[in-house]
Amino acid sequence: MTELNNISDQEMIQKEFEALLEDYKQSPHRQKIGIITSAFEFANQAHQGIRRRSGEPYIMHPLAVARIVVKEIGLGSTSICAALLHDVVEDTDYTVEDIESRFGPKIASIVDGLTKISGGVFGQQASLQAENFRKLLLTMSEDVRVVLIKIADRLHNMRTLQAQPLEKQYKIAGETQYIYAPLAHRLGLFPIKSELENLSFKYEHPDTYAELEKKLEKVKGAQMEMFEQFAQPIRNKLTMMGYDFELHGRIKSIYSIWKKMTAKQVPFEEVYDLLAVRIIFTPKLDMSEKDQCWMIYSALTEMYKPHPERIRDWISTPKANGYEALHVTVMGPEGLWIEVQIRTRRMHEIAEKGLAAHWKYKTGFNEEETELDKWIRTIREMLQNPSPNAVDFMDTFKLNLFAEEVFVFTPKGDIRTLPQGATVIDFAYLLHSELGDHCIGAKVNHKLQPLSYQLRGGDQVEILTSHTSHPAMQWLDWTETARAKERIKKYLRKQGVLSEQALQASEQVMDEQAEEKTKKIKSVVLTDDNINVLYKLEPCCHPIPGDEVLGYRDLKGQIQIHRVECPIAARHKSQHGKNLLSATWDITGANTYKQTIRIEGIDKVGLLIQVLYTISENYHVNMTDMQFSAKDGVVTGTITLNVHSLAEVNKIFRGLYNIKEIKALTRV
């Protein structure tokens, strides 16, 4: 049987390697089959006899990562070899020197970088490994291929996460959502970013994911029919204009649909813009790409009415990660809004392959520094004075992984890019460190504004300074960018105001004590008797029976229970993954739990009485507090209930939605 398995394994491994070579041959890179074959044979021999938790030979993982590197990120032979070898030094007796002697210094350097960061912020001791996290950023600023391969490694781990135990799934999904997805977005890897978010959501909210997946499957056919109806006039017009083009329709991801449902507090049935359309064309040589995108926009809006507030021009001012496109939302068939993205083939490749394609199209001759180049430079500057506390440093770094930007102008009209929520202080430090250190306020659009003023797109900002002004602790609350926070902390540490070494040391001791105190515990079962005795239901998210929950062992060894989607839990998942526990409910329904619901609706005489009657008489639920207000015909309010479970809350919601004036119900 073992011999048969070995034969089957060898066939599977060889088939996957041949698929990798086929992917590579389809790429535009100079073909270096020999060195890739050597790297594969070396890694295959090094991992001989080792299996993954799923049961397959370990070499299948490096092969899968290498395929992602070439096919989905667009890197070449050096990165493919490094991907094949990325676990050899960490998991076998071979050294970086062995890699260098066989494959040269560049491949060895990338493998070394991947090995160094494997135990850092992305390993088991994230909260204790400040130096390893610093190594990650240092390596990224020197050769970003290290991080691109690390993202490919994480993507494959997420694709095979079902083989891991539940608490490990929470940890890996949590840090993926917290660091990897934003990092992929920042590097322009949009398809990978989207898949990482979707997979994280799938493992954090399996029941909700399955429910939405089922609902989406039912409407996909109708959505694609609508796409064909919408697309045909566009095809005819672009053909008449003489363009070589592609027209694609895609359904939004389950995660993005859930985000919209959550943000707007609407059910799936009321998410109307499920469909997005993409126009990808080859530009003509006698006109600029920008002009041709606007010509296609003009042709499109002659056929379909545009939404005046949903036009996004990422061509005149590309996103900080290099993304370029023209977005417009138009009224399609059946009165539904459809977002259309207009891109040239060059723009599309940058949008799909991110950094690799971005650099491919740079000419190198007197070319202006892009926002992506500036970001990599900012990372280098951050490394000069990193915070000794790894968790704090990781939070600071994450601030630079912003998804949305605002564009503001200097007094001379130069454009600067900042994250949404950035303030006058952030802008001052962006221009110059000394300017930030002595900032006292700003003239924004010729009006005096304080340091805490949040900048809006299109603002023109003139920084005001005084030599007597210096950073204060409160400034940290008024800043959004990593650059500003690190500079302020540097000044405060120098003045003796901020000392983090002691905090880090005490946290490490307490963390170790907590782990020792409750380390046979891997999962908890919540019962009527142990809730809020052994296990505390946290007030940040108010979990109730029926919620998807997890346990977190805090620094005192006590076990907190959070809802899976709780923002506090997200931080725990990403930074203290070893302290996570799986948690399930086993309750009789004898106890009640406080749950506050928010109600929004159209005001009318007797509405409140109707609401109270529905809750108390129809569902026999006790109410302990309520607050309501009405303005301009709209009523909003909250009611705190004593409920037995999530199922009971859902029943109450269904009953209240039968009151036609009730428009939105949410748990607080």
Contacts 24+ apart (CB under 8 A), 255-263: 255/194, 255/197, 255/198, 255/200, 255/201, 256/194, 256/197, 257/212, 257/216, 258/201, 258/205, 258/208, 258/212
β-pair partners for 415: 409
Q: DSSP readout, 120-184?
A: TTTSTTGGG-HHHHHHHHHHHHH-THHHHHHHHHHHHHHHTGGGS-HHHHHHHHHHIIIIIHHHH
The three-class DSSP label of residue 461 is strand
Place of tokens 């995660």: 255
Upper half-sphere CA count for residue 127 (Cβ side, 13 Å):
21
Q: Is 289 a catalytic residue?
A: no
Do residues 654 and 617 make contact, with C-beta atoms less than 8 angstroms apart? no
Contacts 24+ apart (CB under 8 A), 499-502: 500/387, 500/388, 500/389, 500/392, 501/388
Rounded CA-CA distance 36/18 in Å is 11
Do residues 444 and 453 make contact, with C-beta atoms less than 8 angstroms apart? yes
Nearest to 79 by CA among 109, 100, 54, 101: 109
Q: How many CB atoms lie within 10 A of CB 316?
A: 12
- The conformation of residue 335, written as its DSSP 8-state character, comes to G
Q: Looking at 9, 56, 91, 462, which residue is catalytic? A: 91
Q: How many CB atoms lie within 10 A of CB 95?
A: 14
Sheet of 662-667, strand order:
622-631, 634-643, 593-602, 662-667
Q: DSSP readout, 581-620?
A: EEEEE---S-S-EEEEEEEEEE--TTHHHHHHHIIIIIS-
Q: Is 648 a catalytic residue?
A: no
Q: Looking at 41, 90, 97, 225, which residue is catalytic? A: 90
| Catalytic sites, residue numbers | 90-91
